[in-house]
Amino acid sequence: MSKTEDVLRDLDSKDQPALVGYFPAGYPTIDDSVEACVAMCESGVDVLELGVPYSDPVMDGLVIQEATEEALANGFKLKDLFPTLKRITDSVDTPVLVMSYWNPIMQYGVERFARDLKEAGGAGLITPDLIPDEAADWLKISDELDLDRVFLATPSSSQERLANSASLSRGFVYAVSTMGITGAREDLDRKARDVVSGVKASGSDTPVCVGIGISTADQVAEVNSYADGAIVGSLFIKAYKNGGVAELTESVNSLKSGK
């Protein structure tokens, strides 16, 4: 079984909330991102999403866009991802999923990317713009290497598509709480419950985590009441930008503890 699923199921069995945290590799520098990611894991993040900076982040909100643009401006290249990932996985036991648009992976080579990911200790991939219907190469190599593959489920997905995403995902299914770009919102879209219900109605037992728009401890608790984990990104980047690792870890602790 997937290490990511093991962590989420263990938390569920203990009735503890699961927190999935996103941070971009190379932001603001490679060394800084390693320090930040390790601190997040040590402070309570149960699964880490390591973002790949990309020049055309069509699904990312302004906070993440600005962070990834800064990483690229400071010289981050795709080849830097794997040493960065290795430094993180050597320091913590937390499952680390790389989150990347599909185009950089195709340019790098799907099999080569997967093997380098595995060698660096990565648990798998979250691919926000790749649908299972077009993922034959990734499905094949991820099966061979036993890597997690996280597909998205959205409010506009048909029940058939929800079932397909759930059956082919490993690690968890990424339930998008609202249509549009990522970023913190004051009110978490109620459609998230419908997406989670649709995935679970498919008969899949793969955990479902909800992302996009989660920014408070109350929202983390609410999501964990009906899903298997809450995904937070923009809030952590804001915290780091405002107060470095100290404020970042305080933010993680607050969301994890519910205080």
**DSSP string over 114-149:** HHHHHHTT--EEE-TT--GGG-HHHHHHHHHHT-EE
Q: What are phi and psi of 253, to 5 degrees?
A: -60, -40
Q: Give the Cα separation of 189 and 175 in Å (integer).
A: 12
Question: Using an 8 Å Cβ cutoff, are 228 and 190 in contact?
Answer: no
Calculate the CA dihedral of residues 206, 211, 215, 221 and round it to 10 degrees. Answer: -20
Which residues are known catalytic residues? 49, 60
CA separation for the pair 25, 33 (Å, rounded): 6
Q: Please list, in sequence order, all residues whose beta carbon lies within 8 angstroms of the beta carbon of residue 146, skipping any fewer than 6 positions away.
A: 2
Angstrom distance (rounded) from CA 93 to CA 255: 20
Query: Is 94 in a helix, a strand, or coil?
Result: coil
